[in-house]
């Protein structure tokens, strides 16, 4: 007998193995009370690690919450939020900060003063593989590391190592912290996935389903393949009708619609962020011509691919770059 749970785990592993973060920017902040920093919404994953001192975070859905030394906060969708030395109104500290750049995308941010000191390591990063974007959209807007990582023996030592590295500015510490943050973020996302293994519908349930999960992994791995309902059903090991019904039941839309949206979301990323030529995108996604791709793109996104390619990407950082 075939172990279905093992096969579904294989599908999830196929997606998770592509997890990689493209480091956008990192900053080590030394802030003296009173202080407050507003972080605008962005289309990047953001995290904050509290190394020392008082820190409060405000987000619209939760209000103010107290953070302590060793806390790591992950904001998968990059929502608007505020960090501050105390809850309540306070003048934004950005204009008062001294910024020291250490090369690349790493900087040190210092607000001088006589008040109690807070030391925070913050960063913004982009997912390097589209396969995990549906998963990120399912995650809560704010995740506290200790809330999801109770069963991961690596997370606590990793947080302790970050705390030690962030406690003082050492040669190469910014680079070390950025690498540890990448690893820690990947493990926290995996912890959240494992914590929600009983989902019965949606993308997370689909990727864990023995038949549908195999199909999703294949579509995300090679979205430009000439997939048809017949080839997808064959991959799932089901009849055409059984596969179509099962896919729609779990994901709430048909396989063709899901694949079309996947391709167009990828196309938007390649056009807007990488400036790829429309013809190259069409070819990479398996369309017979640029015209057929353009029609499909406009039907799903309500924009022409040329307009998306010409649009300037939104501002994703603050004055000091994270």
Average pLDDT for consecutive 10-residue bins of the chain (322 residues)? 44 64 75 92 87 92 90 90 91 83 75 90 75 76 82 81 70 71 79 77 85 89 92 96 95 93 88 88 94 95 90 47 60
For 78, the 3-state DSSP assignment is: coil
Task: For residues 159 and 235, state if they share a domain.
Answer: no
Residue 48 lies in a domain: yes
Task: For residues 181 and 237, state if they share a domain.
Answer: no
Residues β-bridged to residue 75:
46
Task: For residues 282 and 147, state if they share a domain.
Answer: no
Task: For residues 142 and 279, state if they share a domain.
Answer: no
Checking DSSP bridges between strand 45-52 and strand 117-127, what pairing results, if any?
antiparallel
Percentage of residues in the chain having pLDDT higher than 90 = 35
Apex 318 CA angle, 270 and 99, nearest 5: 125
Residue 249 lies in a domain: yes
Of 56, 185, 98, 99, which is closest to residue 177 (Cα–Cα)?
A: 185
Tell me the HSE value of 284 on the side-chain side, using a 13 A CA sphere: 14
Residue 217 lies in a domain: no
Please give the residue range of the domain that contains residue 120: 19-195
pLDDT of residue 2: 39
CA-CA-CA-CA torsion for 34, 53, 47, 83, nearest 10 degrees? -20
0.75 exceeded by pTM: no
Identify whether the C-beta of residue 125 lies closer than 8 Å to the C-beta of residue 182.
yes
Q: Listing from the earlier edge strand, what are the strands of the sheet with 45-52?
A: 98-101, 106-111, 21-32, 117-127, 45-52, 72-75, 143-144
Residue 263 lies in a domain: yes
Task: For residues 229 and 305, state if they share a domain.
Answer: yes
Q: What is the token pair recorded at 263?
A: 């391709």
Q: Which run of H or E residues covers position 49?
A: strand 45-52
Residue 272 lies in a domain: yes
pLDDT of residue 18: 60
**Domain closes at, from 195, 214, 234:** 195
Residue 178 lies in a domain: yes
Residue 210 lies in a domain: no
């Amino acid at each position: 007998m075939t172990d279905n749970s093992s096969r579904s785990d294989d599908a999830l592993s196929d997606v998770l193995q592509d997890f990689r973060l493209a480091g956008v920017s990192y900053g080590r902040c030394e802030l003296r009370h009173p202080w407050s920093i507003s972080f605008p919404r962005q289309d990047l994953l953001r995290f904050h690690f509290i190394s020392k001192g008082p820190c409060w975070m405000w987000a619209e859905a939760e209000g103010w919450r107290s953070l302590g030394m060793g806390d790591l906060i992950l904001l998968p969708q990059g929502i608007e939020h505020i960090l501050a030395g105390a809850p309540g109104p306070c003048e934004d500290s950005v204009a008062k900060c001294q910024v020291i750049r250490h090369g690349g995308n790493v900087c040190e941010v210092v607000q001088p003063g006589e008040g109690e000191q807070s030391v925070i390591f913050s960063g913004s990063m982009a997912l390097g593989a589209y396969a995990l974007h549906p998963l990120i959209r399912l995650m809560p807007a704010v995740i506290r590391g200790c809330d999801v990582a109770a069963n991961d023996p690596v997370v606590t030592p990793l947080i302790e190592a970050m705390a030690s590295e962030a406690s003082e500015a050492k040669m190469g510490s910014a680079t070390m912290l950025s690498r540890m943050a990448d690893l820690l973020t990947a493990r926290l996302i995996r912890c959240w996935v494992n914590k929600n293994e009983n989902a019965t519908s949606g993308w997370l349930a689909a990727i864990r389903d023995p038949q549908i999960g195999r199909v999703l992994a294949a579509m995300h791995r090679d979205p430009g393949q000439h997939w048809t309902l017949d080839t997808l059903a064959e991959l799932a090991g089901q009849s055409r009708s059984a596969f179509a019904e099962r896919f729609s039941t779990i994901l709430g839309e048909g396989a063709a619609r899901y694949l079309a949206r996947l391709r167009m979301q990828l196309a938007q990323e390649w056009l807007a962020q990488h400036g790829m030529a429309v013809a190259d995108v069409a070819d990479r996604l398996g369309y017979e011509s640029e015209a057929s791709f353009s029609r499909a793109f406009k039907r799903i996104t309500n924009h022409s691919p040329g307009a998306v390619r010409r649009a300037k990407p939104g501002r994703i950082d603050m004055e000091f770059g994270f």
